[in-house]
Amino acid sequence: MPHALTALLSSLLMLVPIPAHLLAHAAQAVQLPKPQSTAQVLFVGDMMFDRSVRTKVDEKGGNYIFSCVDPLLYLQDLVVGNLEGPITDEPSVSASSTPGDENNFTFTFPPRTAQLLYDHNIRVVNIGNNHIYNFGVAGVRSTVKYLSDAGVRSFGDPIHASTDDEDVYGVPLAFINYNQFVGTGSASTTLQQIAAARAQGKIPVVFTHWGEEYLPATDREKDLAHRFIDAGAEIVIGTHPHVVQEHEIYKGKYIYYSLGNFIFDQYWDESVSNGLTLEVRFDQNGVTSVKEIPVQLDRDRRTCEVS
């Protein structure tokens, strides 16, 4: 490593203590120049920051729940995931609930969640899901504002059917949502957004919230995924079922029907406590490779990469 860069890292280490394994990754990143017009993006599944995850963060701090998976997150150019609920100032009703009662499925995440995501390199999130309206339209707007203020971009806002365009090292990505649970005609909207992105020279990445919880992919999921690819989607990645569903290659394009959980407090079966992340490499023509990286949700509320 050049002497000047070594000195810079040493100075930063004196100001902010950095774990040795993260410093090693930083040194590696400095030594290896980033190729132009390539991007490495990690896609993760459902993230929920209420209930017992919230109480664990209150107890040990937000960095704790990411501490085991941070080396994976920090190696990416960008991390994208599904934020399974709104960020509001409202008090939690699920943190003190019991499994099965109505409040157990009503989520609100504290405002600190937005900065927590940013600090762990999760810089783009989908908010088009079945929990985003748990605290109404005000909750949706609050979520978008808190995320934006922290530097986290979002897409799938059901009020505006928002998309998010990102230029990642010269690779023009367009993140587009399909949400089975909120609004009507969203499939046609998604198809239109895919076509518009392609017409603008962007690479459409469709991130969906669909299907049946804890079950394999449905025929409707498969039909929609194929329609999205036919319309020009480069890759289709799904969330919501809380289990990892099957994947396929259709017309040379990858479809992952569900990544399962990433940050969640479900442990009753291996199918819900094991999730999948995807390390996808893009160039200006589209996807060049996909690497599957399994993760495990531990009862201490941390998520860890599976070796």
Q: Looking at domain 34-305, which of 3.60.21.10, 3.40.50.970, 1.20.140.10, 3.40.1280.10 is its CATH number?
A: 3.60.21.10
Backbone CA torsion sign across 18, 21, 23, 25: negative
Backbone CA torsion sign across 118, 56, 43, 156: negative
CB 154 within 8 A of CB 147: yes
CB 194 within 8 A of CB 176: yes
The structural domains of the chain, with segments of one domain joined by +, span 1-30, 34-305
Q: Quick check: helix, strand or coil at residue 110? A: coil
Tokens coding 46: 């459902």
Question: pLDDT tens digits for 212-241?
Answer: 999 999 999 999 999 999 999 999 999 999
Exposure class string for 145-159: b at 16+ Cβ within 10 A, else e: ebbeebebbbbbbbe
Kindly write down the DSSP assignment for every residue of 242-256, as one continuous string. Answer: SSB--EEEETTEEEE
Mean pLDDT of the chain: 89
Whether this prediction's pTM lies above 0.75 is answered by yes
Enumerate residue ranges in the chain where pLDDT < 50: 1-21, 23-31
